[in-house]
Amino acid sequence: MKSPYEYLADIIVKRPRLVACLLVLMLILSLVGASLTEMKTGNETYVYKDEPSGSLVLHYADAFSSKSIILIVEGADVTTPDVIAYLDMLEGAIRNQRYVLGAVSYVDLLKSANGGVLPTSKGEIITLMDALPSDSMSNLLPSNTLAMVNVPLETGLSSDTEVEIVNNIESLVEFSGAPAGITVSVSGSPAFTAGMRDDMSQNMSTLITLAMVLMVVAVMLLFSHVRYTLLPVIVVFCGIIATFGFMGFVGIGISSIVIAAFPVLIGIGIDYAIQFHSRIDDEAREHPIDVAVKRTIVNYGPAVMLAMIATSLGFIALTILAPAPSVADFGFICTIGVVWCYLAALLYVPTFAMVINYKPKPPKVKKDGSNGSSLMSKYDDLLGNTAAAIAKRAIPVLLFLAMFAVVGIQLDEKVIIDTDEESMVPADMPAMTSMKKITSIVGSTNTITVYIKADSIRDPQTLKWIDDFGKYTLNKNTKLRGVTSIASIIKEYNGGILPTTIQEIDEIWAKVPQTTLNRYASGQTETVMEFSMDSISIPQTQSLIKDMEKDLDWFVQHPGLSADFTGSMSMFSEMIDKISDSKNPMTYFGFLLIFIYLIIVYRNFSAVTPLIPIMMIVGWNGMVMYVLGLTYSLLTATLGAMTIGVASEYTILIMERYLEEKKNGLDLISSIRIAVQKIGTAITVSGLTTVFGFAALLLSTSPMIQNFGAITVVTVVFSLLGAIIVMPASLAVFENLKAHLDAKKQEKLSKRGI
């Protein structure tokens, strides 16, 4: 019975032009799907909706989280009459925008103190400013050269809506006609989100373009001994387009994490394309092109598929145990993308070869008429001799290299985990620069949020508990600056005294502006407390929140009341624990999947040998991360599982060729020598080409993706070293152990007379 690969080979050989037309049609369909992809930001990329903490974060964002756009006004003097008139006009235009609750600046304080009329002279302005409370003025007018306009937005807005509002306000500012010497920049959390989206879009196109350019350079340098050198680059581009199309049709958004998947896929996909191109070139030197294509598809297609499945298993482990939805999307896209890149190589390369009647380049001839010894053939010999020497000294080599792996595993635990969203965008992004400017003036704008659910948030007992917990927590934690809650607002409207009866509470409640109530109360049963804090790092915030959680557990809650921490600070702090708890299980699960896969496929004791170099590479990665001062983020937390995926391909290809040579009757050392000699050169070329693809990540504007790029480049280099150096030693040890066990078994059988 024919295999699927034989059927495929027959179709491509007999109907190459029909297959080519179908592939072009698929490419067009993929382009349509790719046009449907959208950028994805916001809490949905960090939390799972089906987890209690995740659902609470999303509910809080819908019910309470009211973000503000901040306008930063700068100039030689922002308190002149013409600037005041300009700001008053600009605020009026902004208030008319949909979803905007208002606009507040020091100009509103001046108007309020002047009977609702704008002051028209510098003298009036100075007099009014001197009469106003300094605390109120300093928040909106830190100096005569800088003022801020606060633009609060409605609660529960989607990221798309926030970005739309930011764009509208930026347009208003652009065409508002600011006085000479006055600049107005748009900042705040929504502007940061908009800037992050723009950077992601630009970053993605830049990374993919750079990866493709670097691929062209790499194949021109390393793959020039075949015709149509750039064919693998075109093939992997088709695979990436197919992946984009799949994302568009199934509705997977592109987040800052998912962006990094594409250079990874380009790096892996180029390997598949080079492998098929190289194999067809070799076969075409000895057979007609139709035979060469058929032999390549039938004999090499399944071997590369086995390596592809092993690679996919590493990414599947990532998808299943991911600490955040964006990481799960990264693993899923890598899994699907690897399959698409394999199919592109399997279909496009043979079809192209048939359509153009591919002929290999003739060997270069020296002036004396001999073929001579090429650089590649010398490298082949070097690999073969090195592998044989390592196989003869397998145990010392493994022990020496394992020592570094063990040290690396220990150092890996000391690598810092960073979940700060600011590390995902360039430091010079305008929205980031503006945010830092605000922080330097007014301090941290971040808050730690406590969500409270009670039978009635107007109940005197509930309000007293909220007030008491706020006071207790502030007194206990020096990093907290203040607290705002429904209790503090009621006190503010009641002369600093908390009312003790429901009737009093209802009367004061009616005096509070609805916009203020909406920010801190939802219905009659839900409310939040917001603790303002010093500007501290995410790890320090995590420690602070854990201390506050202990306080919350200790602080007795009356029946009918429950309280939990939520919001962005709590979410990013919890992410540290999630990364710490999941990065090792993702790696172990990847190992388990590969182990089971190898046993099922090969049913051989030596089949687990690829795991030895992979385990060492994971350890070496930990050492490199510690030495280079890199941090674990949502992206680099995927490193262990991704290493398994990338390294397994090289090691399995070496093992495949070794088993083939053993089957042909060669001894252990000779089999290892030829396996590394034949496969080592091919994986070196494709591996170095992969390094060029991953190197594009180093040129990203995102610090997080730069770190990921640095360690993935190192991972690919280690994967090559693991396949060429560790794999021969592993094969030798396992085969000798197997021979020893077989001899022992035979000896026992002989003693029993069997």
The pLDDT of residue 586 is 86
Three-state secondary-structure class, residue 188: strand
The pLDDT of residue 296 is 92
The count of residues in the chain is: 754
Average per-residue pLDDT for the chain: 84
**How far is 428 from 436, CA to CA, in rounded Å?**
10
Over the stretch 369-413, which tens digit does the pLDDT of each residue have? 544 456 667 888 888 899 999 999 999 999 999 999 999 999 988
Is residue 725 exposed (0-12), middle (13-18) or buried (19+ Cβ within 10 Å)?
buried
Q: State mean pLDDT over 95-117.
A: 88
Number of other residues whose CB lies within 10 A of the CB of residue 659: 17
**How far is 55 from 50, CA to CA, in rounded Å?**
6
How is residue 145 written in tokens?
């050269």
Segments of 63-113 assigned E as strands: 68-74
The pLDDT of residue 306 is 86
Does the structure show a pLDDT above 90 at 130? no
Torsion of CA 281, 284, 290, 291, to 10 degrees: -110
Q: State mean pLDDT over 654-663.
A: 84
Q: State mean pLDDT over 709-726.
A: 88
Lowest mean pLDDT among 71-75, 232-236, 552-556, 725-729: 552-556
The pLDDT of residue 372 is 46
Sequence-separated (6 or more) residues with CB below 8 Å from residue 553: none
Lowest mean pLDDT among 5-9, 250-254, 342-346, 392-396: 250-254
Does the structure show a pLDDT above 80 at 467? yes
Contact yes or no for 216/450 (Cβ under 8 A): no
- Higher-pLDDT residue of 627, 653: 627
- Higher-pLDDT residue of 355, 109: 355
Does the structure show a pLDDT above 60 at 367? no
The pLDDT of residue 370 is 47
* CA neighbor of 636 nearest in space, from 587, 678, 674, 603: 587
**How far is 624 from 716, CA to CA, in rounded Å?**
13
The pLDDT of residue 356 is 93
Which phi and psi angles does 532 have, rounded to 5°? -75, 150
Does the structure show a pLDDT above 60 at 368? no
**How far is 161 from 456, CA to CA, in rounded Å?**
32
Over the stretch 614-630, which tens digit does the pLDDT of each residue have? 999 989 998 998 998 88
Q: State mean pLDDT over 735-740.
A: 81
The pLDDT of residue 753 is 61
Lowest mean pLDDT among 245-259, 426-440, 462-476, 599-613: 426-440
The pLDDT of residue 111 is 87
The pLDDT of residue 444 is 58
How far CA 641 is from CA of 266, 502, 599, in Å, comes to 18, 58, 19
The pLDDT of residue 728 is 93
8-state DSSP, 459: S
How far CA 256 is from CA of 165, 192, 583, in Å, comes to 22, 13, 19
Q: State mean pLDDT over 701-708.
A: 78
Does the structure show a pLDDT above 90 at 340? yes
The pLDDT of residue 165 is 92
Most confident of 147-151, 401-405, 710-714: 401-405
Q: How many CA atoms lie within 13 A of 4 on its CB side?
A: 4
The pLDDT of residue 345 is 94
- C-alpha angle 106-109-115 in degrees, rounded to nearest 5: 145
Structural domains present in the chain: 1-35+223-362 (1.20.1640.10), 64-195 (3.30.70), 375-437+582-754 (1.20.1640.10), 438-573 (no CATH)
Lowest mean pLDDT among 206-210, 239-243, 708-712: 206-210
* CA neighbor of 257 nearest in space, from 485, 63, 425, 467: 425
Per cent of the chain over pLDDT 70 is: 92
Q: State mean pLDDT over 646-661.
A: 83
Sequence-separated (6 or more) residues with CB below 8 Å from residue 723: 613, 647, 650, 651, 653, 654, 679, 680, 683
Q: State mean pLDDT over 746-752.
A: 74
Number of other residues whose CB lies within 10 A of the CB of residue 102: 15
Over the stretch 493-506, which tens digit does the pLDDT of each residue have? 888 899 989 999 99
Sequence-separated (6 or more) residues with CB below 8 Å from residue 450: 469, 528, 529, 531, 552, 563, 564, 565, 566
Three-state secondary-structure class, residue 194: helix
Buried b (16+ CB within 10 A) or exposed e, 567-596: bbbbbbbbbbebbeebbbebbebbbebbee
Over the stretch 269-321, which tens digit does the pLDDT of each residue have? 888 888 899 889 988 988 999 999 999 999 889 888 988 898 898 889 888 98
